[in-house]
Amino acid sequence: MAMATETASEATSLTPAAAPERSLNQRMDALARANQIRTRRAQLKRDLKSGRLSIQALLQNPPEYVETAKVFDMLLAVPKYGRVKVNKILALCRISPSKTIGGLSERQRSELVSLLRR
């Protein structure tokens, strides 16, 4: 009987990387945290829509739970900003639509805020 031999690189390229095993408590904690973040973001979007919060203030000093939110999604929550206008603004500032608020560079952040103030 001949045994198949593989190198370490072949073995790792064939099997997908698995997420580390988590205990039930760890999974429940992660789920609770994710739900809390979703709830807070939903309230933030309602505040943006009603005008209780300005998008400029949000971009200049974002809370921790908004750091991983997409800039595109937050701009869509602002009244009178639809997909076309948001895409134009992001293109003018050279920002990818998939960019997160926490991932904005200082140049992108300041350019976006000054463009939104007009």
Reported as a single tens digit per residue, the pLDDT across 22-72 is 899 999 999 999 999 999 999 999 999 999 999 999 999 999 999 999 999
Confidence (pLDDT) at 101: 96
CATH class held by domain 25-117: mainly alpha
Confidence (pLDDT) at 14: 62
Structure-block tokens of residue 6:
């593989």
**Are 81 and 54 in contact, with CB atoms under 8 Å apart?**
no
Higher pLDDT, 6 or 83: 83
The percent of residues in the chain predicted with pLDDT above 70, rounded, is 86
Cα–Cα distances in angstroms (integers) from residue 20 to residues 17, 23, 32, 35, 46, in the given order: 9, 10, 19, 21, 36
Indicate the domain borders of the chain. 25-117
